[in-house]
Chains A and B, each alone.
Chain A
Amino acid sequence: MSRLEARELELSYDDRLIVKGLSVAIPDGEVTVIVGANACGKSTLLRGLARLLRPQGGQVLLDGQAIGSLRTRDVARVLGLLPQSPTAPDGLTVGDLVGRGRNPHQRWFAQWSESDEDAVTEALRRTGTAELAARPVDELSGGQRQRVWIAMTLAQGTDLLLLDEPTTYLDLAHQVEVLDLIADLNARDGRTVVMVLHDLNQACRYADHLIAMRNGAVYAEGRPEDVITEDVVQQVFGLQARVVPDPVTGTPLVLPLSSRHRRSAGQP
């Protein structure tokens, strides 16, 4: 079953068509990772799925209805989104930032209900940011800041979470920390996660479902071990590589062959 689907989706920036007649169904309760070379349209697809872009053709369906025809507030109660490099106003505290996640549940006469309070407390706890609540966001380290933003989308209380490159600008340890957190949100709460990742090996480790895009279309999709082959890596990234089982997780591990090492490594 898929609550979120794209059918014959066409998305463009200005007059340039980026996503070209793409159909994809996001499996419920799983982690879907979109990968592809730069400018293949993976972030554009994510933005389209999150109704940030109006389709030129085709449609995005949320629970069987065209997402553009739904009230954006109703969508925001089901589908949460973390943009690529989100910005917060100067001096905003962590507590205020995470509290903004409750916006779709609030009204001018119901500004802070008990369920708002509970959701924010829980989101802070899950992301390990409770002790930062009174700190200004702009004083935090990159890893803390990203956890706080995830806490905001978590407080939104949505079944679907869309994340655009949640590990950008983080060092390796913080990348793993953030990805573990996201995996945990899926495993423990059964939230459906869709994210764009740059690192193919991380994508293979964390994805239940992998979508490899090339030139605005889906080139291959499925379980990482089925999708990531040396041929697919060549076609999608234009990269010669060896693919071996990851010694830690058993998922595919992509080892690029640079021109310097191609000779010594040889072809299998």
Chain B
Amino acid sequence: MTTALRPQVSVRADGRSVVLRRGRASVVVRPPSVSVGAALLVALVVVGALTLSVGEFPVPVGDVVRSLLGRGDAGVDFIVLDLRLPRLVCGLLVGAAFGLAGALTQAVARNPLASPDVLGVTAGATAAAVAVLVLGGPRTTALPVAALVGGVLTAVVVFLLAARRGVVGVRLVLVGIGVSATLQAATNYLLLRADITQAQAATVWLTGSLNGRGWTEVVTVGVAVAVLLPVALLLTRPVGVLQFGDDTARGLGVRVGATRSVLVLLAVALAALATAAAGPIAFVALSAPQIAVRLVRTPGLPLVTAGLVGALLVATADLLARRLLAPTDLPVGVVTAVLGAPFLLWLLARASGLAGRP
């Protein structure tokens, strides 16, 4: 009886993946994805513990754990649970959302240059959010809605302008860059019209900052990730087939148009809601999927790994942002830009064999 319930394990012909079967159900597991995922989780725990521990008021890791278990004293609880934890969780979720959004966008465009930033989604969400900040709308309720609507509308416009017999790719990227530039101009105009305090608040938000983020933002992004990640995971297989191009994918039974629309919608929603929570944190959506691909070395875009890498990037960057020039609290977007750009350049150089040459 026990043998009937135990899944049957076999290794696929190419020796790079393991199949678990039970009855009609079967799952393919790739050992590299599992080990990379585990390593990333460990790194997340370390960075998370450090984030909760270090600061103007250092808390030993033991006290951090006691607070998390509900056994800390009131003062430590306030610092760990009320000040540092929401900011950490928000950073993790925002990073995961950007990483996922980037992976989905790159899968749709079949172009490693594509990301919600390049496709104008972030610029659209930003322009709408700045409008809310500058025109003095209610920040907690109106900002996420405005960012989502702005992101979706921009994506629709970019896709309509780029659509020509369903062609995506370079054209999509170019149209995205053009639309982004237009929206950035609109954002700048709004900032010029705003009074100085509103403009200053908006500028910090524009760089991407987790300073002062609380449970409200955590809930918005958390719900988005919790709802949209499973949908994205269900689409992993068709996304893999889409990488072969439209004709082959359709020949293999993928509903290319419908799949692509759902993917874009998922990416736009994730990027827009993450932007609403923390501002447009630069480079995360672009670099997280590329780092993930190079870590796991499996075909197709590893969605979960990209999300984990995104979370790790933002959490680490925010830790640095808080401590690098302490007591000055840098916006996290400054750090991701400073770290992300050269890292991506290094990856690209390594990929084309430049760095490997003597």
Distance to closest chain A CB from B219 (angstroms): 28
Q: Which of B12-40 contact A (CB under 8 A)?
A: 12-16, 19, 21, 24-28
B244/A120 in contact, CB under 8 A:
no
Please choose the segment from B197-205, B221-229, B246-254 that sits at the chain A interface, where 4 or more of its residues have CB less than 8 A away: B246-254
The CB with the most chain A CB atoms within 10 A, among B24, B234, B250, is that of B250
Q: Using known A-B contacts A52-B247, A88-B244, determine if residue A73 contacts B253 with beta carbons closer than 8 Å.
A: yes
Distance to closest chain A CB from B302 (angstroms): 12
Q: List 18 A-B contacts (CB under 8 A).
A: A14-B165, A50-B251, A73-B253, A73-B254, A76-B252, A77-B253, A94-B14, A96-B14, A96-B299, A100-B252, A101-B252, A103-B238, A106-B237, A109-B25, A113-B26, A114-B21, A117-B12, A121-B13
Chain A contacts for B13, CB-based, 8 A: 95, 117, 120-121, 124, 130, 133
Is there a chain A Cβ closer than 8 Å to B297's Cβ?
yes
Is there a chain A Cβ closer than 8 Å to B245's Cβ?
yes
Q: Which of A104-162 contact B (CB under 8 A)?
A: 104, 106, 108-114, 117, 120-121, 124, 130, 133-134, 153, 156
Is there a chain B Cβ closer than 8 Å to A93's Cβ?
yes
Is there a chain B Cβ closer than 8 Å to A60's Cβ?
no
A103/B241 in contact, CB under 8 A:
yes
B12/A103 in contact, CB under 8 A:
no
B251/A111 in contact, CB under 8 A:
no
B247/A100 in contact, CB under 8 A:
no
Q: Which of A42-88 contact B (CB under 8 A)?
A: 47, 50-52, 72-77, 80-83, 86-88
B297/A89 in contact, CB under 8 A:
no
Is there a chain B Cβ closer than 8 Å to A92's Cβ?
yes
Chain A contacts for B299, CB-based, 8 A: 89, 91-93, 96
Distance to closest chain B CB from A62 (angstroms): 13
Is there a chain A Cβ closer than 8 Å to B255's Cβ?
yes
Q: Using known A-B contacts A100-B244, A106-B237, A111-B26, determine if residue A72 contacts B255 with beta carbons closer than 8 Å.
A: yes
Chain A contacts for B253, CB-based, 8 A: 72-77, 103-104
Is there a chain A Cβ closer than 8 Å to B72's Cβ?
no
Chain B contacts for A114, CB-based, 8 A: 21
Chain B contacts for A110, CB-based, 8 A: 24-26
| Interchain residue pairs A-B with the least CB separation, the first 3 | A76-B253, A95-B14, A81-B251
Chain B contacts for A80, CB-based, 8 A: 251
The CB with the most chain A CB atoms within 10 A, among B21, B244, B254, is that of B244
B300/A89 in contact, CB under 8 A:
yes
11 additional contacts, CB 8 Å, given A82-B251, A103-B241, A113-B26? Answer: A76-B251, A96-B14, A100-B240, A103-B252, A111-B237, A112-B21, A112-B26, A112-B28, A113-B24, A134-B15, A134-B16
Residue of B nearest to A124 (CB): B13
The CB with the most chain B CB atoms within 10 A, among A76, A80, A111, A124, is that of A111
A111/B16 in contact, CB under 8 A:
no
Residue of B nearest to A156 (CB): B252
Inter-chain CA distance A76–B234, complex, in Å, is 20
Inter-chain CA distance A86–B12, complex, in Å, is 24
B16/A108 in contact, CB under 8 A:
no
A72/B250 in contact, CB under 8 A:
yes
Inter-chain CA distance A220–B234, complex, in Å, is 48
Distance to closest chain A CB from B152 (angstroms): 26
Is there a chain A Cβ closer than 8 Å to B184's Cβ?
no
Is there a chain A Cβ closer than 8 Å to B188's Cβ?
no
Inter-chain CA distance A103–B248, complex, in Å, is 11
Is there a chain A Cβ closer than 8 Å to B220's Cβ?
no
Q: Using known A-B contacts A72-B253, A103-B237, determine if residue A95 contacts B12 with beta carbons closer than 8 Å.
A: yes
Inter-chain CA distance A113–B12, complex, in Å, is 11
B21/A108 in contact, CB under 8 A:
no
Chain B contacts for A52, CB-based, 8 A: 246-247, 250-251
Distance to closest chain B CB from A131 (angstroms): 11
A87/B244 in contact, CB under 8 A:
yes
Inter-chain CA distance A111–B19, complex, in Å, is 9
Residue of A nearest to B233 (CB): A108
Inter-chain CA distance A51–B247, complex, in Å, is 10
Q: Which of B114-163 contact A (CB under 8 A)?
A: none
The CB with the most chain A CB atoms within 10 A, among B234, B237, B297, is that of B237
Q: Which of A149-205 contact B (CB under 8 A)?
A: 153, 156
Scan B243-267; emit 1 where CB is below 8 A from any A CB, else 0.
Answer: 1111110111111000000000000
Distance to closest chain A CB from B253 (angstroms): 3
Inter-chain CA distance A222–B299, complex, in Å, is 44
Chain A contacts for B165, CB-based, 8 A: 13-14
Chain A contacts for B28, CB-based, 8 A: 111-112
Q: Which of B279-297 contact A (CB under 8 A)?
A: 297
Chain B contacts for A88, CB-based, 8 A: 243-244
B245/A87 in contact, CB under 8 A:
yes
Q: Using known A-B contacts A14-B165, A81-B247, determine if residue A104 contacts B12 with beta carbons closer than 8 Å.
A: no
Inter-chain CA distance A50–B253, complex, in Å, is 11
A89/B21 in contact, CB under 8 A:
no
- Which of B14, B24, B252 contacts A93, CB < 8 Å? B14
Chain B contacts for A91, CB-based, 8 A: 297, 299
Q: Using known A-B contacts A91-B297, A104-B252, determine if residue A112 contacts B244 with beta carbons closer than 8 Å.
A: no
Distance to closest chain A CB from B14 (angstroms): 3
